[in-house]
Amino acid sequence: MMSVLSSPIPPLPEYLPPATETPVDDTARTPLTADGLLGPVVTQFRTVRCGCWLLNYRPAGSRRVVYDGTLRVECHNAGRTASGDLYQRTVRMLTLPPIDPIPPLVPIPPFDPVPVPPGPVEIPTSMEDFGPLMPILSGAPNPASGIPILRRSRYRYYVRVTSLPELFYRGTGFTLGFELWRYTAPNSWALESTVSARMIRMAAPTGYPSPSDYAEGDVKSATGSVVGRLTMGWLSPHYRRCSVEIDTVNGSEQPTTDSAGHTWQSVMDELGWQVDVRLSDTNVAEPSGDSWSDAEMHAAMLARRDVVNLDREWRYHVLAVKNIDSTPRGIMYDAAGTDSNNVPREGIGIASHWTIDSGWGTVSGQRFGTALAPYFRTAIHEIGHAMGLVHNFADFGFMCTSDVIAAAGTPSNPFPNNIQWSYHTDNLKQLRHYPDPFVRPGAVAFGGASSTTPAITPTDLEVDVDGLALVVTPLLGEVPIGAPVRVGIALVNRSAQPMRVPADLALKGDFVSGEVIDPTGNRRSFRTVVRCIEDHAFAMLQPGESIEDSMTLMRGAEGALFAVPGVHEVRVEVHWDAEDMIAHVEGRATVMVTGATDADHAAAAHAVLATPDAHLVLAIGGDHLTDGIAAIQTALACPVLRPHFAAVEAKRVGRRFGHRKPDVKAVAALIDDDAVMSGTELGKLAAIVQNDAKAGAAAKGLAKTLKSKAKKVTLSNAARKNVDAL
């Protein structure tokens, strides 16, 4: 019986309470003695071993549709929890050569070949012109190689286990009940079937580490029809495996320990993940001094990390540098995978030479890299983000932020002594039982794993905050196709009471995300590409006050946000922790995207919409994304799109990159009265003007233009400060 139930995210498996297996024919054996008499009844008690099992599932009806994957069985005091993932095995079509005629019994005398007449060579035009095709099923994962890493593009099902023996079962068989949740990229799930299998223990094939921990059984629907065949064999006490590569500049410490016994190995052992820590380069070149721009960090990560096929290895990358321009402690790159390699959650960067703030206990005033405990804890925290986790303030575990833990220190237990060296139980369950695409690098974009998970964060824990309103205001109501859309947002307290809210609504932070709904109803999400992490500031918003910011939108994890003409709805949401709930405020606005005015406009729009790196240039700048820069240059050459991309290019050339210095004169040449820019972009351009005292008349003219434009856009406090300083 097949059923389909759509859901944003499959629910994680529940704890399976102790249950008694119903006796069936295979649960006991009554052997015969040598004289043919009945011997004593022997009842064997067995368990389903904890750890990772190799799965193989063959649906009925097709010999060449086969799924491989893993089943994770967790044992704990509250019961057992089990889940798994299935990837479809590849089928390759091989062309067989035609069968040659039987060779003659006597040799054929040599002959002169006939010359090939001039003219075009005849090329086969149909399958009949080739030899016969033979579908070949690729091989299964080798159990001797341990926990398998399978291709992301072949992911098909999340296996949510609903029943299995909790402690012991009698005899040689047990019942495994499970749901199959079908996955469609980038992040769509549907409950396809609910089935069960009577698994019979038998000797494992060659290669399995435990010959006695192996079982096979028919998979049956709710009506009892056989729908497939399942095998499972135990592989490892770990649930998953990964590697962590750490690169540093000369002078930055490698975050590997707190000096009190906590290491990557001990942290991952508690998590149940097998880890391979690779201390890679220690001499990453500094492109332009001690402090790195976002673009320089991104370029270094692409250039310095080991070449890894993420379909063969789950590799998380850490790059430790001295300072980062945009944040004091750390940044995560490719949160949404919208760059050319389309890989989200590849890794993070941390700053070793940040001077720790006052109020941070016994490490106040120290250089971050020398404070081993908070420095190493930060690396674990950021890798937790790369594994798909969001902040968790339920305890002082790894996904709480350092500033919150530091503020909770006491004279008798100051920071960093009060660090809790473990994950919260919810985070443990997520990292052990989330579907693979949520945790493995290169799959679902950051934040997609935690939007709504019924078993962990039900939507009824998400509450709208009465009295707060999020006002979304497009800078332009109509934009030409190919142009980015700029919107201002304002969080307004319309109540009579002060409210605790995020102090910053910048898209780079934790709190802001959204989606765009195009005229056909397609939804595409947006989040930041480069995410500042570990900065969690809240403020008390007084009655009548507001917090404002702005953003420039062009692309999300699912592709271009404004790719077709027509009315688009922009939905922005702000969410944050409030006690044991998730506060949520949402605002909406519409924008009209107009069609191409001529062939040149169509070509320029095509260039930017079809080039993912154009969005990355918009977000971080730099000179290393040549395809993105070329697409933006095409847009700048188009009179229709030039005003919309002038600020994007101005930000890029106005910031240093490697040995190239900022060019304020080039910025001034790009920015005129027609240039379109958000308040955030305007604030960044104002900062560029302030940092170049040698620009002279060009800087003065640019400052005048920016001050004039500042009157028409939404400015954050930081942007307003930069403009006021002009």
Residue 175 contacts residue 25 (beta carbons within 8 Å): no
Q: What angle do CA 629, 306, 317 make, to 5 degrees?
A: 85
> The domain spanning residue 326 has which CATH number?
3.40.390
Distance CA 267, CA 507 (A): 31
What's the number of CA atoms in the CB half-sphere (13 Å) around residue 521?
0
Residue 607 belongs to a domain = yes
Same domain, 692 and 627: yes
Residue 98 belongs to a domain = no
Structure token digits, residue 347: 């890794």
Same domain, 382 and 332: yes
- pLDDT for position 14: 78
Which residues 6+ apart lie within 8 Å of 475 measured at CB? 486, 487, 488, 550, 676, 678, 713
pLDDT tens-digit readout, 618-627: 888 888 888 8
Least confident of 110-124, 313-327, 470-484: 110-124
pLDDT tens-digit readout, 646-699: 999 999 999 888 888 889 999 999 999 999 999 999 999 999 888 776 667 778
pLDDT tens-digit readout, 110-140: 444 444 445 444 444 554 554 566 678 888 9
pLDDT tens-digit readout, 38-64: 455 445 668 889 999 999 999 998 888
Same domain, 405 and 272: yes
Query: What are the φ and ψ backbone dihedral angles of 378, each rounded to 5 degrees?
Result: -65, -40
Give the position of tokens 């998400």: 462
- pLDDT for position 307: 58
pLDDT of 36 > 90? The answer is no
Residue 129 belongs to a domain = no
Domain limit, last residue, from 392, 409, 439: 439
Q: pLDDT-based confidence at 100, cuts 50/70/90? A: low
Same domain, 256 and 395: yes
Structure token digits, residue 384: 């937790």
Q: Give the domain extent around 384.
A: 240-439
* % residues pLDDT > 70 (the chain): 80
Distance CA 315, CA 242 (A): 6
What per-residue string of b and e applies to 55-73 under the rule 16 or more CB within 10 Å gives b? bbbbeeeeeebbbbbbbbb
State the chain's mean pLDDT as an integer: 83
Distance CA 485, CA 711 (A): 19
Q: pLDDT-based confidence at 424, cuts 50/70/90? A: very high
pLDDT: is 356 or 37 the higher one? Answer: 356
Residue 666 corresponds to which amino acid?
A
Number of domains in the chain: 4
Q: pLDDT-based confidence at 158, cuts 50/70/90? A: very high
pLDDT: is 539 or 471 the higher one? Answer: 471
Rounded average pLDDT over 157-174: 85
pLDDT of 577 > 50? The answer is yes
- pLDDT for position 62: 80
- pLDDT for position 714: 83
Rounded average pLDDT over 593-597: 96
Residue 78 belongs to a domain = yes
pLDDT of 534 > 60? The answer is no
Same domain, 358 and 229: no
Domain limit, last residue, from 389, 404, 439: 439
**Count of Cβ atoms closer than 10 Å to residue 52 Cβ:** 24
Rounded average pLDDT over 492-520: 88
Same domain, 344 and 483: no
- pLDDT for position 20: 46
Residue 113 belongs to a domain = no
Distance CA 668, CA 423 (A): 50
Q: pLDDT-based confidence at 287, cuts 50/70/90? A: confident
Domain limit, last residue, from 567, 595, 623: 595
Residue 107 belongs to a domain = no
Same domain, 302 and 396: yes
Rounded average pLDDT over 323-332: 81
> The domain spanning residue 147 has which CATH number?
2.40.128
Q: pLDDT-based confidence at 642, cuts 50/70/90? A: very high
Give the position of tokens 């109020």: 359
Same domain, 253 and 274: yes
Distance CA 148, CA 553 (A): 38
Rounded average pLDDT over 312-337: 78
Residue 132 belongs to a domain = no
Question: What is the rounded (10 degree) CA torsion for 556, 558, 559, 562?
Answer: -70
Same domain, 202 and 57: yes
pLDDT: is 461 or 178 the higher one? Answer: 178
DSSP code of residue 141: P
Same domain, 591 and 602: no
Residue 27 belongs to a domain = yes
pLDDT: is 443 or 498 the higher one? Answer: 498
Residue among 137, 154, 139 at smallest CA distance from 93: 137
Mapping DSSP to helix (H, G, I), strand (E, B) and coil, where does residue 572 land? strand
Rounded average pLDDT over 488-503: 92
- pLDDT for position 23: 46
Structure token digits, residue 224: 């009892």
Residue 115 corresponds to which amino acid?
P
Distance CA 447, CA 458 (A): 15
> The domain spanning residue 526 has which CATH number?
2.60.40.2970
Which residues 6+ apart lie within 8 Å of 315 measured at CB? 242, 243, 244, 245, 305, 306, 308, 346, 441
pLDDT of 12 > 90? The answer is no
Same domain, 463 and 381: no
pLDDT tens-digit readout, 228-250: 999 999 999 999 999 999 999 99
pLDDT tens-digit readout, 184-228: 876 778 899 999 999 999 999 999 999 999 999 999 999 999 999
- pLDDT for position 453: 35
Residue 29 contacts residue 42 (beta carbons within 8 Å): yes
Same domain, 498 and 512: yes
- pLDDT for position 459: 39
Rounded average pLDDT over 527-531: 64
